[in-house]
Amino acid sequence: MKNIREEIKNLWKQANADLKTADNSLKSGDYYASVFWCQQAIEKSLKGYIILTKRETPLHIHSLIKLGRIAKIPKKYEKILKDISPEYYLTRYPDVSEDVPYELYDKDDAQKKLNDSKEILKWVNIPMKK
């Protein structure tokens, strides 16, 4: 089994890679994909943070709201988590929104979610030192 430190490092590295993918998707005009990768970046960063600080492994939780509560994220970030959390489903499944996901988002939507995601990852800021 992986040691905790490696798991945290892997989640943090993947969160940052997901954020880069969100940025690349925004630049290419794939706004729904950008929003999805923002959600993923926040989810993985919060999971890494929780494992680091609480010694818990909340791997099967996808709700950013619930993860934020466990992480004790500052109240000022709660709205961001509330806004981005449903994107885990909305960006992927037409039956959730009863519409085509890629048609639901525009550049402004994606840019705001990307900026908000960067703010959350800046708060999480898992140090990569041993």
Terminal Cα-to-Cα distance of the chain (whole angstroms): 18
CA angle 78, 75, 106 (to 5 degrees): 30
Mean pLDDT by 10 residues, the chain (130 residues): 74 97 98 98 96 83 94 96 94 88 95 98 76
pLDDT score recorded for residue 4: 60
pLDDT score recorded for residue 130: 42
Q: For the whole prediction, is pTM greater than 0.75?
A: yes
pLDDT score recorded for residue 19: 98
Write down all domains in the chain, each with its CATH number in brackets.
4-124 (1.20.120.330)
Place of tokens 């988002």: 105
| Interatomic CA distance for residues 16 and 27, integer angstroms | 17
